[in-house]
Every structure is written in C-alpha cells, then in structure tokens.
Amino acid sequence: MKSIINGKTYFIKYNHLNKVQVKKGDSVNVGDVIGYSGNTGNAAQKAIIPHIHFQVFDSKWNLLDPFDYINTKFDSNFNPIKSNCK
C-alpha cells in the first residue's frame, strides 16, 4: 500500500492476509477494513495461528521500524494526530 504522509511517500506491506478487501488505486480511511489476517505463504506450511506481518518502507524501499508507525493515528487529511498513547 502506498501512503503519502506529510508529503513523504511510504510503502506499507501487510503479509499473510487470507483476504484482501481493497485493490490498487483505492483510497482508504481510518477504520476501513483492508484485509483479514491469515496464514498464507510460509506461514501456511505449518500449524501457525493466523497473523499479519506489518512492514514499512520509505520511498527508496529502505525498511523502517514499523513500531514507529503502528501506534500513529491520522486524521482524514493523513496528518499524524499527536497523542500520549504508547
């Protein structure tokens, strides 16, 4: 998923989804379901509990720490909402 946040481009990957609810070019908003966790790919080869691997990359596809983004909430204009949540 390509996201532009504060003018910067990020790519977000959700791996192991059993079902994807969006297609290329769709816009999503806060709260929209984009897919359902699963155990596809390498996770399908074993009895593994359905889950999601969440990856974040910058515009040059350098891997970023997803923890920096997982708790971030955004408004409808894709601006980060400041909070004290941890």
Q: Do residues 34 and 24 lie in contact, with contact meaning Cβ atoms separated by under 8 Å?
A: no
The rounded mean pLDDT for the chain is: 80
Model pLDDT, residue 59: 94
All structural domains of the chain with their residue ranges:
19-55
Nearest partner of 68 among 27, 2, 12, 7, judged by Cα: 12
pLDDT band at 61 (very low <50, low <70, confident <90, very high): very high
Rg (CA), the chain: 14
Q: Which pTM was predicted?
A: 0.63
